[in-house]
Amino acid sequence: MSKEEFEELNVFGFYQKRLSLLLLLSTIPSCALTFRFLFTLYEPEFHCDVPSALSENYLNVTKSKYEYLLNSTVPWTTDDKQELVRSECSNYDVSDIDFLTNKSGTVWLVNRTLPCKQWRFAQDGVSALTEFKFVCERAWMKPFSFTIYAVGKMCGTFAIGPTSDKFGRRVVFLATLASQFLVALLMSFSPTASMYMSILFFTGATDVVYSAAFSLGIEFAST
């Protein structure tokens, strides 16, 4: 092989540029998934709902009757703007009141409150937060989700280097790309909060496609 032919092969030509473009395109989903928390942990407006023990007796309740039940079971409070809103985390303790025998429509005056177990969310959004009730006593689970994801991503970042050296850049790149898709698919079918958190860890661990693509691209560019 002549010197001219060797130099021609060593040029960063169309083949290398095409591979670099494909590697770049493969990292776009990873970048888009960075914004997943804007949607999966979206928090719409909400307030405590009528306790289930009462709502079960009013399956076909009218709107006016439902408002009466809300006023009887959910206290009013003020928000940060000093506006009157229904409580987000407290219900009146109405365990000893028989609503079914009350025909006058009078709102009961009860001072004692208990943490509510049911919430009514606004209709403008459904997310993991509304699905698993990451509010009030469980509000800590929302920032904890970010922590779980960050820990998973840290573990994935530490593991990507040694595994790439052992199995090869291409194998690890394809494996992380496929794993990222499968884990994201599994997350959408999480039936419980604990499974959601577990899958979120693996979501972070597999969200290192860009690292594998970068290493593979450097090798293409340097050959």
Domain ranges of the chain: 3-41+141-222, 46-121
The encoded tokens of residue 100 equal 């079914």
- Predicted confidence at residue 50, as pLDDT, reads 81
Q: Count CB-CB contacts under 10 A for residue 138.
A: 13
- Predicted confidence at residue 103, as pLDDT, reads 46
- Predicted confidence at residue 88, as pLDDT, reads 87
Tell me the three state secondary structure of residue 194: helix
- Predicted confidence at residue 100, as pLDDT, reads 44
Residues 6+ apart with CB under 8 A from 30: 180, 207, 209, 210
Phi-psi bin for 105: left (phi > 0), alpha (psi -120 to 50), beta?
left
Q: Return per-residue pLDDT of the chain as tens, 223 residues.
A: 565 655 555 666 677 777 777 777 777 777 777 777 777 888 888 888 887 766 555 555 666 777 777 877 888 888 777 888 888 888 887 765 554 444 444 445 556 788 888 888 887 667 888 888 898 888 999 889 989 988 998 998 888 888 877 887 788 888 888 888 888 888 888 888 889 999 999 988 888 777 777 777 666 666 5
- Predicted confidence at residue 83, as pLDDT, reads 81
- Predicted confidence at residue 82, as pLDDT, reads 80
Helices (H) and strands (E) in the chain, counts: 11, 6
- Predicted confidence at residue 148, as pLDDT, reads 92
The encoded tokens of residue 79 equal 């928000």
Identity of the residue numbered 181:
F
Residue 181, CB-side half-sphere exposure with 13 Å CA sphere: 8
Residues 6+ apart with CB under 8 A from 145: 37, 41, 128, 134, 197, 200
pTM of the complete model: 0.74
- Predicted confidence at residue 177, as pLDDT, reads 82
